[in-house]
Amino acid sequence: MENRDELIVEAAIRLFIRYGVKRTGMGDIASEAGISRQTLYNAFSNKDAVLQATIRLLTDRRVERIETGLATAEGLGERLDVVFRHVVVEPFELLHASPNAEDIVAGFNATSRKELDAAAERYAAILSDVLAPYSKAIERDGQTVERFAEFVHRSAVAAKHGARDREHLLALLASLRIAALKVTGAT
């Protein structure tokens, strides 16, 4: 992503958090970014394009932080903690810090859903890599590493959406971590 585009997306993120996706217009984004509307439209054809770029940028940043954290994490439990922190806990905290959390979620549409699905695939691929050393134990239970990684990812995301608060989320993720350790024999 070009520097200008990244600055625009950063401005959009601030506005989406502050006002929600639906109440943020292209003029608002241009003003927040300190650029003209024409410059904004030269970079992004519409708000959907800005939203897609926002999801992509946030995903890229999360993947970088995950990779950095995995490089020093020891054992499956710590590695799962790294993934859960960046894929589930941080987005949960960000969303719940916004007074417009419901509008942010409601602002995602079919176009942005494709970006969210692509992000989910990237996170599941990371989990597949994390779980790969335990493939024999996973396959002994009739699973594939990829299917189990998808299950862990989807379960973690479901916990994020169903948790009452941060403490509840962490408890749900701790249970998922224990289950993954049991399945893999890494307890």
Residue whose pair of structure tokens reads 């969303």 in the numeric block: 95
Average pLDDT over residues 145-171: 96
Q: Is the pLDDT of residue 111 over 80?
A: no
- pLDDT given at position 141: 86
Is 185 strand, coil or helix?
Answer: coil
Q: Tokens for 144, please give them.
A: 């594939």
- pLDDT given at position 100: 63
pLDDT in tens, 119-150: 999 999 999 999 999 999 999 989 999 999 99
- pLDDT given at position 105: 59
What rounded mean pLDDT belongs to the chain?
Answer: 92
- pLDDT given at position 1: 63
Least reliable range by pLDDT among 45-49, 100-104, 124-128: 100-104
Helix (DSSP H) and strand (DSSP E) numbers for the chain: 11, 0
Residue 132 DSSP class: G
Per the rule left: phi > 0, alpha: psi between -120 and 50, beta: everything else, 110 is alpha
Short-list 52, 152, 83, CA closest to 91: 83
Per the rule left: phi > 0, alpha: psi between -120 and 50, beta: everything else, 34 is left
pLDDT in tens, 48-79: 999 999 999 999 999 999 999 999 999 999 99
Confidence of residue 89 (pLDDT cuts 50, 70, 90): very high
| 74 Cβ contact partners less than 8 Å away, ≥ 6 residues apart | none
Average pLDDT over residues 2-24: 90
Q: Is the pLDDT of residue 3 over 80?
A: yes
170, amino acid identity: L
Least reliable range by pLDDT among 92-106, 107-121, 157-171: 92-106
Q: Is the pLDDT of residue 43 over 90?
A: yes
- pLDDT given at position 94: 84
Domains and CATH numbers, the chain: 54-184 (1.10.357)
